[in-house]
Structure 1
């Protein structure tokens, strides 16, 4: 399936979606995407468990469980938060939480690493939910499937690349430095969707569905 000029023009015209997606694509380590930050963060997890905490590899399961709890909490509250904050505010808050969580994993001790995992789990879904909500709202029904598929590729493909790159970076860089830098980059990303007023849930006209 190829990208048609019509679809490309629509994506460029979608100002609201492009601003939110811009936050996703600009926010990561080395001017990469938030998905790249997530990939680097994932690649460094076992370095955090081993070198940072001195724990067995199985401790990663505990961190993933805490991260999952944060994601569940965000999922339950997403509708209410987007109505109050708007999509930009919701995405900006998610970027900030995610960046703080990544940076917290650079600190010594179980408590900050567990707290960081919770923040990561709570923050990352905000960016994804806000971006996909904007796409679903703004894209005409006859192009929604094609557009959503390409947006999913933009959101998730960088993560796979970053997992490989992150593994190499962890091998040659102190994981604490790597996490501090990536966390700071994600925090800086929060300013992108925060500019201007976000569209609140229920304000925009619904896109007709077939």
Structure 2
């Protein structure tokens, strides 16, 4: 959905806001500010919530920002870009934090490199698909579809987090244990919060 969102930048600037193409630079600055702000608070937030919840919150923030971009108002679109800027990094931060917490030390480099492919490759593909779709459908329809799909993904992430928590049983020392069908035995999950 980030790729579809990115493909629609100039359509929002031109058709939505009726501004010159250079105004896209302002939108990128505001998105960057949103990313910096969430970066300042990400560590503290991740100490208080599981990675999946943090990622789901970011995805939902992104989804709302994408959908708000259909409103032909500069202040609304600026707010939407800040929301997108704050929401997108949450997924990346949560994913890489989970990799570091859950992966044995000697495998962190390989696992992190492998995780980068499903995190970033779909974005490039969706960017190209978005450019094609914009020639066929109105940018507002594309943004509403992308926002809706992202919101569904956020709910799925939360439901997955809840199912994982319910599957975890009590273990010695107050931590939860989760059965992993892909490995021998069990892995210790995060400390109970």
Q: Could you tell me how far 1:40 is from its partner in structure 2?
A: 0.7
Distance 1:73 1:140 in 2: 31
Residue 33 (structure 2) pairs with residue 69 (structure 1): yes
- Is 1:81 matched with 2:29? no
Equivalent residue, structure 1, for 2:8: 44
Cα shift at 1:192: 2.1
Residues 1-210 of structure 1: pairs in structure 2 closer than 5 A: 37-195=1-159, 196=162, 197=165, 204=190
With normalisation by structure 1, the TM-score equals: 0.75
Deviation at 1:149, TM superposition (A): 0.5
Detail structure 1 runs of 4+ shifted over 6 Å in the superposition. none
More strand by share: 2
- Structure ID, larger Rg: 2
CA RMSD across the alignment? 1.5
Q: TM-score, normalised by structure 2?
A: 0.82
In the TM superposition, residue 170 of structure 1 has moved relative to its aligned partner by 0.7
Cα deviation, residue 86, structure 1? 2.0
How many residue pairs get aligned? The number is 165
SS of the residue 1:157 aligns to: helix
Q: Distance in 1 between matches of 2:51 and 2:100?
A: 13
* Gap regions ≥5 residues in structure 2: 167-188
